[in-house]
């Protein structure tokens, strides 16, 4: 995959010197992973170094442990500030994971060689890469998306030798403009280089008897003078292969093909897609101008420090006795690691004085969807599900993939036949042939899926993309993986309650009359209090107004591992941590009565018995000094809801009754003053609070509390100096409660619409009285007639002034209600008067109905 030093075959007597080969790979690339595995089998290293935090070496013992299943990630965090963290993810198709697996299977010493996490986490201002080098190559080759270019050129082809040219291109891309101008374009003939048997002190490009299977293989011999270069510099690698005498003929090749690999023209200082055989990969001429401005940019200092540490680790391994050292790193770093390492002084100076923090590392489960994130390795893939398929399905991958697509669509009750699959496979293969590609890539199978299986439906295609192309596979780590005590408690409780962590969203219905579901509810509420969003309350498909049912949406995201670590500062168990956190929040001076009432409600839901007395005491003291009726009204509904939980959770809520009753007394006493002198906005806000309090008190079913509340509403309804919206709402609530009959409510409406009142006040009264219930007007034609008559009597200015409020009132009705009201208005006139005697009944028709009912019920 990159320039490598040639040496004697491993079984020769000359192989006594140390050999080092650098394998520049694509992070999370299945083609790279497969080729790397083959190259390691051929090279047979005795030490393997892998790009990753060097202080994670103690965790490598868990690689082969029972329960370890990728995708997983190394998590590094600062114990005092867990949010300061980084991840290094691994999938089964990651080359790094395959290197780890090879080391375990062959009992090979393995370790990480990148900067330790103690330094990485301390570099808060770590510079991001200026650009993705692969994006430059893709742009040069005419691809807008580097993922699609990599998929077409690397992952879908069996020609692993092309990686040699990719890494050679990395060396070119790393050059500074000055070095690039001074470097002649090199044309490498790998076949000639292999045939001539280049000596060990020369660096060539290509494969040595296919020993490296297309990977970078650089031999570092401590006893030989090998191509020397300044440490961290990216000057071009010297080659003993024949050089092109004409810049027009210059090109970089790999063994077998140079498909998609750009030519670097030192004279022009740009990268051009030239010399590509159209019958091989069919790569188009790339727009060199797009890449020109991105070439020749120096490597950022942080990357140079990382590479310096890698070289230091390589020196340590060689000094420790490594005879066959394999280094697995990103292709961009490979040019800095091949050739002679040189003296360590320069690297030591570069690493001197690096910032450092205390870091803790562990393994955590990861998901395919999170592999697209740029953390740790700073690299991701947009189609991890597709890459996983390419790596695991070596026989007929396209047919098997489209069969999986069909299965996904069928699982969502979408009709897909075997003929659809056959035709989609044919279309994918045909598209690949037209584009002169050796195997259909993701773009071809996606187009076949869209055209045949999805019949052009983009919604169906998005379903396939989410479920398969990206995927939501969730890995697992062994039980004995280092973890904070809170994580250990969470694992134990989840296992006991049979709650599995899944990356796919699923719904969990709980029946709180069952002990296990009550325990599950407590666990999920405790997690929510701690900021660990494993579950989110949602509305159930089974509509229920009782308190014995809860519905949760569960989805586990890898980042929740950080949330667990952050919450561990509150305690070692979920119960202790939740109690400590909620008491700490309640003790804050800025906590309002509504906040305390909400916290008390949450504590009861989470069964935080140790925190309830403290919360009740805090709420009592806060309510005693708070004279704001609006805040008391806002806190009352939550407090009353908590009074209902004792029935289904067995919680003693006796202490809350005294608090709720005292709060209600203060509300009823202060309400007359709170409703005085309010504008429209303030009146609307207070009306919403009154609605919530009324509903909560109705569910409490306490005679004394209901009587006190209705008395307060009656006083409000009799007020003439209060905003019409509040008065109308009070009349409506009393009418619904049966305190006022229809005749009295009609009288009050007529009085509100009488002459002498401001039209906007009348409209506000109507808005408060109707309150989004249009059926009231549909069934009470007399009420509708009164409002219609009042509306017709307005002059133009009055009508214009009241229209916005009336439009808002009637706009809140359901569409069917508005249509029914319009029909009633078109019919005209009030409804028949309220019946006062039997003369209004049609006895003959009634007898017919009674006769029919008698026959239906079979009675005489």
Mean pLDDT of all residues in 373-377:
48
Cα distance between residue 530 and residue 526, in whole Å? 6
Q: What is residue 279's predicted lDDT score, i.e. its pLDDT?
A: 36
Cis omega (within 30 of 0) for bond into 65? no
Residue 126, pLDDT > 80, answer: no
Of 755, 777, 687, 688, the closest CA to residue 726 belongs to: 687
User: Residue 766, by phi and psi: left (phi above 0), alpha (psi -120 to 50) or beta?
Assistant: alpha
Q: What is residue 575's predicted lDDT score, i.e. its pLDDT?
A: 93
Which of the two residues, 36 and 278, has the higher pLDDT score?
Answer: 36
Residue written as tokens 């919530």? 692
Q: What is residue 422's predicted lDDT score, i.e. its pLDDT?
A: 94
As a whole number, the mean pLDDT across the chain is 75
pLDDT digit string (tens) for 675-725? 888 888 888 889 889 988 998 888 887 889 889 999 998 888 888 888 888
Residue written as tokens 């670590």? 565
Write down the pTM of the prediction: 0.64
Residue 78, pLDDT > 70, answer: yes
Residue 612, pLDDT > 70, answer: yes
Which 8-state DSSP code applies to residue 137? H
Mean pLDDT of all residues in 294-318:
83
- Confidence tier at 323 by pLDDT (50, 70, 90): very high
- Confidence tier at 349 by pLDDT (50, 70, 90): very high
Q: What is residue 228's predicted lDDT score, i.e. its pLDDT?
A: 31
- Asked which of 244-248, 560-564, 694-698 is least confident by mean pLDDT, the reply is 244-248
- Asked which of 15-29, 160-174, 730-744 is least confident by mean pLDDT, the reply is 160-174
Sign, CA torsion 565/571/572/578: negative
Residue written as tokens 């009146």? 683
Residue written as tokens 């301390």? 122
Mean pLDDT of all residues in 821-830:
69
Q: What is residue 583's predicted lDDT score, i.e. its pLDDT?
A: 92
- Angle of CA points 438, 444, 445, to nearest 5°: 110
CB-CB neighbours of 277 under 10 Å: 12
Q: What is residue 191's predicted lDDT score, i.e. its pLDDT?
A: 35
Distances (CA, A) of 455 to 140, 414, 431, 448, 459: 34, 11, 17, 9, 11
Which of the two residues, 860 and 147, has the higher pLDDT score?
Answer: 147
CA atoms within 13 A on the CB side of 655: 14
Which of the two residues, 298 and 468, has the higher pLDDT score?
Answer: 468
First to last CA, the chain: 98
Cα distance between residue 162 and residue 253, in whole Å? 8
C-beta of residue 209 within 8 angstroms of C-beta of residue 198: no
Q: What is residue 153's predicted lDDT score, i.e. its pLDDT?
A: 67
Of 118, 476, 115, the closest CA to residue 329 belongs to: 115
Cα distance between residue 535 and residue 555, in whole Å? 7
Mean pLDDT of all residues in 300-314:
92
Q: What share of the chain is helix, strand, coil (3-state, %, to 5)?
A: 50, 10, 40
Structure tokens at 218: 């650089």
pLDDT digit string (tens) for 496-533? 999 998 888 889 999 888 889 999 999 999 999 999 99
pLDDT digit string (tens) for 754-801? 655 677 777 788 778 877 666 667 666 777 777 777 777 777 877 787
pLDDT digit string (tens) for 162-220? 556 666 778 877 774 333 333 333 333 333 333 323 322 322 223 333 333 332 233 23
Q: What is residue 258's predicted lDDT score, i.e. its pLDDT?
A: 29
Q: What is residue 399's predicted lDDT score, i.e. its pLDDT?
A: 93
Using only C-alpha atoms, what is the Rg of the chain?
38
Q: What is residue 755's predicted lDDT score, i.e. its pLDDT?
A: 54
Cα distance between residue 75 and residue 117, in whole Å? 9
């Amino acid at each position: 995959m990159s320039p490598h030093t040639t040496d004697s075959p491993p079984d020769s007597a000359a192989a006594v010197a140390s050999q080092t080969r650098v394998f520049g790979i694509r992070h999370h690339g299945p083609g790279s992973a497969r080729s790397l595995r083959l190259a390691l089998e051929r090279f047979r290293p005795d030490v393997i170094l892998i790009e990753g935090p060097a202080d994670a070496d103690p965790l490598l013992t868990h690689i082969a442990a029972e329960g370890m299943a990728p995708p997983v990630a190394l998590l590094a965090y600062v114990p005092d500030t867990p949010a300061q963290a980084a991840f290094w993810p691994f999938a089964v198709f990651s080359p790094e994971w395959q290197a780890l697996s090879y080391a375990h299977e062959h009992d090979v010493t393995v370790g990480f060689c990148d900067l330790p996490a103690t330094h990485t986490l301390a570099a808060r201002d770590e510079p991001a890469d200026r650009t993705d080098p692969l994006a430059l190559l893709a742009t040069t080759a005419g691809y807008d998306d580097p993922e699609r270019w990599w998929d077409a050129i690397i992952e879908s082809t069996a020609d692993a030798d092309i990686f040699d040219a990719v890494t050679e291109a990395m060396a070119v891309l790393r050059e500074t403009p000055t070095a690039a101008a001074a470097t002649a374009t090199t044309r490498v003939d790998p076949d000639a280089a292999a045939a001539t048997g280049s000596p060990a002190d020369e660096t060539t490009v290509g494969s040595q008897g296919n020993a490296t299977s297309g990977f970078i293989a650089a031999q570092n011999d401590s006893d030989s003078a090998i191509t020397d270069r300044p440490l961290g510099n990216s000057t071009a690698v010297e080659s003993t292969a024949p050089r092109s005498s004409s810049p027009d003929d210059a090109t970089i090749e790999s063994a077998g093909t140079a498909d998609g690999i750009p030519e670097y023209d030192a004279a022009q200082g740009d990268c051009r897609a030239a010399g590509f055989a159209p019958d091989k990969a069919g790569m188009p001429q790339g727009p060199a101008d797009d890449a020109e401005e991105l070439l020749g940019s120096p490597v950022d200092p942080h990357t140079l420090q990382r590479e310096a540490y890698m070289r230091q680790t390589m020196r340590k391994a060689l000094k420790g006795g490594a005879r066959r050292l394999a280094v697995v790193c990103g292709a961009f770093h490979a040019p800095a690691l091949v050739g002679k390492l040189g003296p360590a002084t320069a690297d030591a100076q570069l690493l001197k004085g690096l910032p450092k923090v205390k870091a803790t590392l562990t393994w955590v489960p990861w998901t395919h969807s999170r592999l697209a994130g740029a953390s740790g390795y700073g690299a991701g893939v947009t189609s991890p599900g597709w890459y996983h398929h390419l790596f695991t399905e070596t026989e007929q991958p396209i047919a098997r993939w489209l069969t999986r697509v069909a299965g996904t669509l069928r699982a969502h009750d979408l009709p897909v036949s075997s003929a659809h699959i056959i035709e989609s496979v044919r279309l994918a293969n045909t598209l690949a042939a037209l584009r002169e590609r050796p195997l259909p890539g993701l773009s071809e199978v996606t187009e076949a899926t869209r055209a045949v299986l999805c019949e052009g439906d983009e919604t169906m295609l998005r379903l396939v993309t989410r479920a398969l192309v990206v995927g939501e596979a969730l890995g697992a780590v062994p039980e004995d993986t280092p973890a904070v005590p809170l994580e250990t408690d969470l694992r134990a409780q989840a296992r006991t309650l049979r709650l599995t962590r899944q990356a796919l969203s699923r719904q969990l219905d709980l029946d709180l009359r069952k002990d296990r579901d009550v325990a599950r509810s407590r666990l999920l509420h405790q997690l929510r209090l701690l900021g660990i969003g494993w579950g989110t309350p949602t509305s159930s498909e089974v509509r229920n107004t009782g308190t014995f049912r809860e519905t949760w949406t569960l989805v586990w995201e890898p980042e929740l591992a950080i949330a667990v670590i952050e919450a561990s500062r509150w305690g070692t168990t979920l119960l202790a941590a939740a109690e400590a956190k909620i008491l700490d929040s309640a003790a804050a001076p800025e906590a309002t009565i509504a906040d305390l009432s909400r916290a008390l409600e949450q504590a009861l839901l989470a069964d935080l018995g140790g925190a309830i007395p403290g919360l009740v005491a805090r709420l009592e003291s806060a309510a005693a000094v708070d004279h704001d009726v609006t805040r008391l009204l806002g806190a009352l509904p939550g407090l009353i809801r908590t009074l209902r939980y004792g029935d289904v959770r067995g919680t003693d809520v006796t202490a809350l009754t005294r608090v709720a009753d005292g709060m209600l007394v203060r509300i009823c006493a202060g309400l007359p003053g709170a409703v005085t002198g309010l504008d429209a906005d303030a009146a609307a806000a207070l009306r919403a609070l009154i609605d919530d309090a009324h509903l909560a008190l109705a569910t409490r079913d306490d005679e004394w509390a209901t009587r006190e509340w209705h008395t307060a509403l009656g006083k409000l309804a009799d007020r003439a100096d209060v905003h019409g919206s509040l008065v109308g709402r009070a009349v409506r609530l009393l009418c619904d409660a049966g305190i006022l009959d229809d005749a009295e409510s009609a009288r009050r409406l007529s009085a509100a619409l009488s002459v002498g009142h401001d039209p906007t006040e009348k409209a506000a009264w109507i808005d408060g009285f109707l309150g989004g219930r249009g059926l009231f007007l549909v069934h009470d034609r007399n009420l509708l007639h009164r409002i219609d008559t009042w509306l017709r009597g307005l002059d133009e200015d009055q009508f214009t002034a009241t229209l916005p409020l009336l439009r808002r009132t009637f706009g809140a009705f359901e569409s069917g209600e508005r249509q029914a009201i319009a029909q009633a208005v078109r019919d005209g006139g009030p409804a028949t008067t309220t019946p006062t005697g039997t003369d209004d009944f049609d006895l003959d028709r009634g007898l017919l109905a009674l006769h029919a009912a008698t026959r239906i019920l079979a009675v005489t």
